[in-house]
Structure 1
Amino acid sequence: MFNFHLLTARWFVEFGEAVVVISGETGCGKTTQIPQYILESEIDAGRGALCSIICTQPRRISAMAVSERVAAERGENLGESVGYKVRLEGIKGRETRLLFCTTGILLRRLLVDRNLKGVTHVFVDEIHERGMNEDFLLIVLKELLPRRPELRLILMSATINAELFASYFGGAPMIQIPGFTYPVQTHFLEDVLEMTGYRLTQYNQIDDYGQDKTWKTQRQAVRKRKSQIAFVVEDALEAANFKEYCPQTRDSLSIWNPDSIGFNLIENVLCHICKRGSPGAVLVFMTGWDDINALKDQLQAHTLLGDPSKVLLLPCHGSMASADQDRITTI
């Protein structure tokens, strides 16, 4: 098994590297294990009291969930050596040496503490999730390193172009860590229609947003101009070969409206999974809170999906209260 203690000693102690880019497959332990190993290495070297590690996460729910996981692995309560800080809340104590936080929290700290006084290591996790905050943070940290030569910066992700980030930081060393991924079967829309027997019509593709959003429902029905994605989909359907699918599936594909999210189709697929699939969890990614809330209302009105003894519907969004988000990570 890969020895992260040797990794830490080699790059950060023997060679004194200020920046390391770690590209590791999903499940290799980047987020939960490497910060712990570095903390343990500092403790073994007699620098535990001076060690202060910050590990950024792109989303608040990630920062909270990972901190709880790491604290549990260390046999501690959250707020002892491991803590977290997100917008408007956080759990940390005087002895906290490993702090998980969102990118925005670290940027706010840099506004009042340009040199990150007292911080010894900064982890920027999931750096492939490019955004204004994430890119700006990398710019600020690059400018900070000459002022803080003793600061250690670790960039981590599962799907990055490691060479790109390494070259940005002047040829920083790169480490590739193997991991374990579960086999995944990919089913496209035509496969789902074939398996479930669901038939698309021009009427069942209008998403219902309820009385409060009647205008949004009506806008779908009267929309005449096609979006750019609709034209792309039409070209793809014309070029595809669906001879192995039944006539009903081909008919559904011919009238599919890609501008519709497809609440009814999602409901039908979830029913198919609940009736014929094994127990487990299903993630449904939507485009915003309006869509999440409208779909939840529709599913709760369903006989099977709305039965809390059989199906537990849990919305997840960054604007939700932390207590509601915690329900997802604790179940």
Structure 2
Amino acid sequence: MSVSERVAYERGEQLGESVGYKVRLEGVRGRDTRLLFCTTGILLRRLLVDRNLRGVTHVIVDEIHERGMNEDFLLIILKELLSRRPELKLVLMSATLDAELFSSYFGGAGVIHIPGFTYPVRSHFLEDILEMTRYRMTPYNQIDDYGQERMWKMNKQIPKKRKSQIAFVVEDALRAADFKEFSPETQESLSCWNPDCIGFNLIEFLLCDICENEGPGGILVFMTGWDDISALKEKLQIHPIFGNPDRVMLLACHGSMASFEQRLIFEEPASGVRKIILATNIAETSITINDVAFVIDCGKAKETSYDALNNTPCLLPSWISKVSAQQVFLVC
């Protein structure tokens, strides 16, 4: 929606004239619309009705690095479509994709590298943050507070005698890493880090540190899903700083929210007010939030996986890829 609005604005016309958009259950387009922004699901639905995409001359697929079932299936269908419609122009775009891999899949398609301007970004990892802020992690201050209604979700994070497979992997990685340049306190915190937790307390601490010690600019916090966003938002709203609308503009951004609620993240706050956005990786896409100067990424996102035992797809949080992490830098 935001991209179509921007393109229409730069063309000097109203949205719905030559530029429109279509998402699930909502869309703006007219008789003269020639450029339609849509989701992957909308395009697949169109292909279901019209396998040859009659009337379409160009298909541009952006953020192609986001590998998923719908995205991979779409590429298979488009490759078959090109054999039937060789005049159709297909453009695959991403700032972080392995271009040669996609080029070989489409029979040696041409690759165009377009240089762009990126702002310098300083990245700090968990060990850097612990060293800089002197924050100390313990096995119990990492447990995320989801409230009494979701006690089961909190109980899953309590350290158990029998460790999970990911915990063993983390321990091996920590042992293999060289943390000699960090203080003993930081090394001790890392040794008790719980990979099953998001880290609400650490995020709250970092937000306080930024608000009190850093210059102006919005803060974007990447979370895994609506449960995490709503729980953290409730936690922050009772804080004396984040619960004060004269100091902080606290917003959420999730795909299930109404479009007018999602658009609030683009509004500029009043002078002296810090904007904080709690979002899923929906904020990693083509949208641009102009005043964001700080990004906190929990390193996890919900991805669709297949449960072979129950024969059903499920949406579970998993660690993001290195490419996705690089894409986050481009949001800053």
Normalising by the smaller structure, the TM-score range is 0.7 to 0.9
**Partner-residue secondary structure (3-state), 1:123:** strand
* One-letter amino acid of the structure 2 residue matched with residue 93 of structure 1: G
User: 2:77 matched to 1:140?
Assistant: yes
2:89 to 143, 147, 152: 152
Superposed CA RMSD in Å reads 1.6
User: 2:234 matched to 1:297?
Assistant: yes
Equivalent in the alignment of 2:108: 171
User: 2:146 matched to 1:242?
Assistant: no
Residues 133-282 of structure 1 correspond to what in structure 2 (within 5 A)?
A: 133-221=70-158, 223-282=160-219
Preserved CA contact (<8 Å) 1:124 1:155: yes
Question: What do residues 112-135 of structure 1 show as CA deviations (whole Å, max 9, x unaligned)?
Answer: 111111111111111111111111
Equivalent in the alignment of 1:90: 27
TM-score, normalised by the number of residues in structure 2: 0.76
TM-fit CA distance, 1:271? 0.4
Equivalent in the alignment of 2:68: 131
**Partner-residue secondary structure (3-state), 1:199:** coil
Moved more, 102-111 or 160-169: 160-169
Equivalent in the alignment of 1:111: 48
* One-letter amino acid of the structure 2 residue matched with residue 148 of structure 1: R
Unpaired runs of at least 5, structure 2: 269-332
* One-letter amino acid of the structure 2 residue matched with residue 151 of structure 1: L
Question: What do residues 191-220 of structure 1 show as CA deviations (whole Å, max 9, x unaligned)?
Answer: 111222222122211111012112222232
Question: What do residues 92-130 of structure 1 show as CA deviations (whole Å, max 9, x unaligned)?
Answer: 111111110001100001111111111111111111111
**Partner-residue secondary structure (3-state), 2:91:** strand
Preserved CA contact (<8 Å) 2:139 2:159: no
* One-letter amino acid of the structure 1 residue matched with residue 69 of structure 2: M
Aligned equivalents of 1:224 and 1:112: distance in 2? 54
Distance 1:96 1:222, change over 3 A: same
Moved more, 142-151 or 179-188: 142-151
TM-fit CA distance, 1:82? 0.8
Distance 1:223 1:76, change over 3 A: farther
**Partner-residue secondary structure (3-state), 2:92:** strand
Aligned equivalents of 1:172 and 1:189: distance in 2? 40
Aligned equivalents of 2:175 and 2:190: distance in 1? 10
User: 2:249 matched to 1:325?
Assistant: no
Aligned equivalents of 1:153 and 1:240: distance in 2? 43
Equivalent in the alignment of 1:121: 58
Aligned equivalents of 2:50 and 2:41: distance in 1? 14
Preserved CA contact (<8 Å) 1:65 1:329: no
**Partner-residue secondary structure (3-state), 2:112:** strand
Q: What percent of counterpart residues are identical?
A: 74
Aligned equivalents of 1:173 and 1:190: distance in 2? 42
Distance 1:222 1:67, change over 3 A: same
Preserved CA contact (<8 Å) 1:121 1:153: yes
TM-fit CA distance, 1:222? 6.0
User: 2:203 matched to 1:286?
Assistant: no
Structure number, greater radius of gyration? 1
Question: What do residues 142-190 of structure 1 show as CA deviations (whole Å, max 9, x unaligned)?
Answer: 1112322322111111112222222222222221111112212121112
Equivalent in the alignment of 1:70: 7
Aligned equivalents of 1:169 and 1:200: distance in 2? 48
Distance 1:254 1:143, change over 3 A: closer
Moved over 4 A (4+): none
User: 2:246 matched to 1:306?
Assistant: no
Question: What do residues 257-287 of structure 1 show as CA deviations (whole Å, max 9, x unaligned)?
Answer: 2222111011001100110111112221122
Aligned equivalents of 1:311 and 1:231: distance in 2? 39
TM-fit CA distance, 1:78? 1.0
Aligned equivalents of 2:262 and 2:78: distance in 1? 30
Count of aligned pairs between the two proteins: 268
**Partner-residue secondary structure (3-state), 2:93:** strand
Aligned equivalents of 2:133 and 2:194: distance in 1? 18
Aligned equivalents of 1:136 and 1:179: distance in 2? 30
Aligned equivalents of 1:107 and 1:188: distance in 2? 38
Aligned equivalents of 2:130 and 2:37: distance in 1? 42
Aligned equivalents of 2:121 and 2:132: distance in 1? 17
Equivalent in the alignment of 1:41: none
Question: What do residues 298-329 of structure 1 show as CA deviations (whole Å, max 9, x unaligned)?
Answer: 11111112222212221121122212111113
Higher helix share: 1
